[in-house]
Amino acid sequence: MDFTVLGGAIGEALTLQSFIGIGGGVLLGYMIGVIPGLSRSVAIAIAIPMTFYMSPYIAISFLIGLSKGTAAGSAVSAILLNAPGEASSAATALDGYPLAKSGKPKTALQVGLLASVFGDILATVILIFVAIPFARVALMFGPYEMAAILAFALVFIAGLSGGSLFKGLAAGGLGVLLATIGLDQQTGLPRLTFGVTELMDGLPLIAVAIGTLALSEMFVQSERLRLQRGTMSVKLEHRPDDRLRWPELRRLLPTMLRGTGIGTAVGALPGLGPSVGSFMSWGLAQKLSKTPERFGKGAPEGIAASESADNAVIPAALIPLFGLGIPGNVSAALLIGAFAIHGITVGPLLLRDDPEFLYSIFAGMILASLILLVIGWYGLRLFAQVTRVPPHVVIPVVIFFCLSGMLLQGYGTFGLIVLMAFAVIGYLMKKFGYSFVTFIVAFIITPMLELNLRQSIILSGGDWSVLLGRPIALVFIACTLVALLVLAWRTVRGAVGPAPAGD
Amino acid sequence: MKPILKPFAAALSIAALVAASSAPADDWPNRPLTMVIGFAAGGSTDIQGRVLANVMEDYLGQPVNVVNQPGAGSAVAYTRLANNRDQGRTFLYGGITALTFTPIITRVGYEIDDFEFLATLAVGQNSIVAASGQPFSTFEELVEYGRDNRLTYAQQTALDEAIMRRIAAAEGMNVAIIPTGGGGGMAPLVLGGEVDFAYSGGTHAQYTDGGEMIVMAFMGPERSPFYPEVPTLIELGYDLVMEDYRVIAVPAGIPDRARERLVAAAEQASRSERFRRVTEDNTNFPVVFYDQEETEAAIRRIRAANEAVLGD
């Protein structure tokens, strides 16, 4: 690493303009994240035109700051309102909302923020020093490995929801079925579209996620409001012990480290995305905990695990982007577009041809994390006030944001119909104890699993022995089988695991 | 109305009529325009389109707002455009596969005749690519190799798959074809050595400079200006072409004035340094200007050719 280049890069990162640009990006992202209905990729897509008039360095740092802001901000609505704005924050709500409800909203928000910033900075450091030279490792994960990992993620995350195996299968099966709608990836022939052009690309994930996760929660809460006035969301009482203390934070460090590790690995593998990261991390934290029964009932470890992984995915998704020119997820793909607008081709050549630019972006990313810490820290005092707003005001406002956010994506009336339909489905699932987490995870994973499985089967020509030369795939297949057996065993014994997914 | 005011009113209305009829011809558009992009933000069409909107806005003197209407490879956007009654104030910038290909394999709510295609501004770069360092480096060597060895090919559309099946059948090659779901999915499979060769719509451009990928055949009717040494499929002896144009489309029957002005703005954009830079340097599409007649003829010709390829 050339230190004069590094010095110059840091110099550029610390100008007033970059403070304003990156700070603006983080603030905007944070606010968008807080509002349920506006998601990370939408935020980037909308903000790209705003960067036309910025210098390339500020433009890219602005956009990365924006994604970091949304990842941290989406924890706020998940914790305070149980209305995660994105699927990746749904894992945060599992523990965040109960903790806030038990009278510690500030602690919950603080844990979420600190875990976000921790995962963020650490993953950025990994990106800079370790990952880019080793980005080629990601190429070892071909279709066989990806299919095995996705199968494992599906079984593992579905198993977290506990409760009845049959209800779990029903919820997961619905997710799988609905995810197959749209044009077949190879033949281009329509499946289950019933002649509706809008369905040719499948049900838009964003509408399904916001409907099932956020909007349905507003239905649940308005019903509760009607039955028993005044107990909606969180009552923020000024309890003197509602504050995160150092010993407690120290106990969370191993969880955050693990979460960052999972988030980094998931982000570095093209395609997996933040929701897989946050749920895997939450699940692993629960399995490894000495007191797994606390999870889903307000364990700070649950928030820390989910948020650190969610935020670690963002810098990690840039590993394949900078190392190989392959975007790690949708937001990273959008960044390629932003780079291109500014005349920069992202990929392995960037490090060779323009290292100063690359290092100044890294410096900008660290700066963004620090700004996020400051904004989040002061912001959470402000956002905690939301809990004082009466529910009959909060509920319609959130519904409004969900609907208008959907319109912003450009799906039109069709998007609103899908959103409402899945709000109803989500409401019924919550009402009758079907795991909406299993449903949404199955819906997200199925298209990727299908593609990679088809690739594997065609590439191998149906020959199982190919797997013998694929140790990584074998390990994950073994893990999947073990997870399945454990699930079956738990059902046979009739033991009911912790049930975070229900209400 | 009081009688005394009548003459004033008449004069006023006459003045208004005169003003309306003698308004400068460059009046159109007098309201902001909308450019529809049939893909999500960030893709190559979107990048080109946003710069194009910028350039057209300077020329037309009204803002050009970019709206993304993703879905079904622009079929959703074309469906909405076919029902648009904005008199030319809403137009689409994008590819033509939703017209030349999608209607062949599935039912859509529009036909080529529902639109006018005012201009072609860029030409797609459909190619057959492979990672470097393989036992073959030209298409002839690939064919030779494929006669004795099983090859794997990464497709992205049913059309490029149909073309590759025809070549494989004609040459007696053993090719297994796998889906990728787009250029972003193709690159890791090729670079990681999972597949032997692949179709690419333009993603390869960022890997050919560094020598990680090679282009073995170009699928357009003529050689690509970016890879002048690479032969076309026609030159290699296959009567197969896969073309993609980036065009400006409007609903059929817009006012003449709107058509004139949009065509003029498009022609001016094709000469703009800004549009050329983003389109050629960043997305590797050569910028061209084909007029309305030429563009519409090309779309019908490509549609017929695709029907022939997919016919069996």
- Shortest alpha-carbon distance between residue A145 and chain B (Å): 12
Nearest to A45 by CA among B42, B47, B36: B42
Burial class of A473 by CB neighbour count within 10 A (0 to 12, 13 to 18, 19+):
buried
Tell me the two tokens of residue A165: 């195996």
Interface of A with B in 431-490 (CB under 8 A): 451, 454-455, 458-459, 461
**Closest CB to B282 among A48, A49, A343:** A343
Contact A400/B at CB under 8 A: no
Contact A185/B at CB under 8 A: yes
At residue B37, the pLDDT reads 85
Nearest residue on chain A to B204, alpha-carbon basis: A325
At residue B182, the pLDDT reads 67
Q: Which residues contact A487 (CB under 8 A, 6 or more apart)?
A: A155, A159, A165
The answer to whether A108 touches A300, Cβ cutoff 8 Å, is yes
Confidence of residue A240 (pLDDT cuts 50, 70, 90): low
Burial class of B24 by CB neighbour count within 10 A (0 to 12, 13 to 18, 19+):
exposed
At residue B20, the pLDDT reads 44
Within a 13 Å sphere around the CA of A57, how many CA atoms are in the beta-carbon half? 24
**Closest CB to B176 among A140, A411, A459:** A459
At residue A111, the pLDDT reads 93
pTM (two decimals): 0.82
Residues A445 and A438: their CA atoms lie apart, in Å, by 10
| CA B96 vs CA A180, A229, B73: distances in Å | 26, 57, 9
DSSP per-residue letters across A284-315: HHHHH-S-GGGTTSS-HHHHHHHHHHHHHHHH
Name which of A286-295, A461-470, B18-27, B160-169 the model is least confident about.
Answer: B18-27
Tally C-beta pairs within 8 A across A and B.
151
Task: Spell out the CATH class of B32-124+243-310.
Answer: alpha beta
At residue A148, the pLDDT reads 93
Decide if B152 and A412 are in contact by the 8 Å CB cutoff. no
* DSSP β-bridge partners for residue B154: B178, B198
Which of B175, B282, B284 best tests the A interface by mutation, with the highest count of A CBs <10 A?
A: B282
At residue A503, the pLDDT reads 38
At residue A494, the pLDDT reads 65
Query: To which H or E segment does residue B287 belong?
Result: strand B287-290
At residue B47, the pLDDT reads 77
Contact A139/B at CB under 8 A: yes
At residue B5, the pLDDT reads 47
ipTM above 0.85, yes or no: no
Mean pLDDT in residue range A99-111: 88
- Complete edge-to-edge strand list for the sheet that includes strand B245-251: B64-68, B33-37, B90-94, B245-251, B115-123, B287-290
At residue B146, the pLDDT reads 94
Decide if B71 and A411 are in contact by the 8 Å CB cutoff. yes
The answer to whether B90 touches B77, Cβ cutoff 8 Å, is no
At residue A39, the pLDDT reads 74
The answer to whether A125 touches A320, Cβ cutoff 8 Å, is no
Confidence check: pLDDT of A35 > 90: no
Nearest residue on chain B to A200, alpha-carbon basis: B72
Same fold, B32-124+243-310 and B127-218: yes
Q: Which fold has domain B127-218?
A: D-Maltodextrin-Binding Protein; domain 2 (3.40.190)
At residue B132, the pLDDT reads 92
Confidence of residue A173 (pLDDT cuts 50, 70, 90): very high
Q: Phi then psi for A338, rounded to 5 degrees?
A: -65, -40
At residue B234, the pLDDT reads 93
Residues B247 and B272: their CA atoms lie apart, in Å, by 16
Tens digit of each residue's pLDDT (9 = 90 or more) over A118-157: 999 999 999 888 766 777 777 788 899 989 999 998 888 8
**Closest CB to B282 among A139, A189, A345:** A345
- Count of Cβ atoms closer than 10 Å to residue B236 Cβ: 17
At residue A151, the 3 state secondary structure works out as helix
Residues A135 and A416: their CA atoms lie apart, in Å, by 40
Burial class of B161 by CB neighbour count within 10 A (0 to 12, 13 to 18, 19+):
buried
Confidence check: pLDDT of A481 > 80: yes
Listed by start position, the domains of chain B span 32-124+243-310, 127-218
The answer to whether A74 touches B71, Cβ cutoff 8 Å, is no
At residue A500, the pLDDT reads 44
Listed by start position, the domains of chain A span 3-493
Decide if B68 and A195 are in contact by the 8 Å CB cutoff. no
User: Which stretches does DSSP call E strand in B132-229?
Assistant: 150-155, 174-179, 197-200, 213-218
Decide if A340 and B158 are in contact by the 8 Å CB cutoff. no
The DSSP call for residue B196 is S
Residues B266 and B250: their CA atoms lie apart, in Å, by 13
Which of B106, B151, B213 best tests the A interface by mutation, with the highest count of A CBs <10 A?
A: B106
> Where on the phi/psi map is residue A398: left (φ > 0), alpha (ψ -120 to 50), or beta?
alpha
Contact A327/B at CB under 8 A: yes
Contacts of B150 in chain A (CB under 8 A): 461
Contacts of A336 in chain B (CB under 8 A): 42
**Closest CB to A198 among B76, B107, B281:** B76
At residue A221, the pLDDT reads 86
Tell me the two tokens of residue A215: 């909007």
Confidence check: pLDDT of A338 > 90: no
* DSSP β-bridge partners for residue B174: B150
Confidence check: pLDDT of A50 > 70: yes
Considering chain A, what is the average pLDDT of its residues? 83
**Closest CB to B194 among A334, A337, A459:** A459
Nearest residue on chain B to A411, alpha-carbon basis: B69
Tell me the two tokens of residue A330: 């949708």
At residue A385, the pLDDT reads 74
> Cα A47 to the chain's mean position, in Å?
19
At residue B19, the pLDDT reads 44
Contact A297/B at CB under 8 A: no
> Where on the phi/psi map is residue B153: left (φ > 0), alpha (ψ -120 to 50), or beta?
beta
Whether the ω angle into residue A36 lies within 30 degrees of 0, i.e. cis, is: no
**Closest CB to A333 among B42, B176, B281:** B42
Decide if B71 and A340 are in contact by the 8 Å CB cutoff. no
Nearest to A259 by CA among A184, A218, A312, A214: A312
Give pLDDT < 50 ranges for chain B.
1-5, 7-8, 10-12, 14-24
Decide if A140 and B192 are in contact by the 8 Å CB cutoff. yes
User: Which residue reads 């210098």 in tokens?
Assistant: A55
The answer to whether A73 touches A33, Cβ cutoff 8 Å, is yes
Q: Tell me, what amino acid is at A419?
A: L
Query: To which H or E segment does residue B247 belong?
Result: strand B245-251
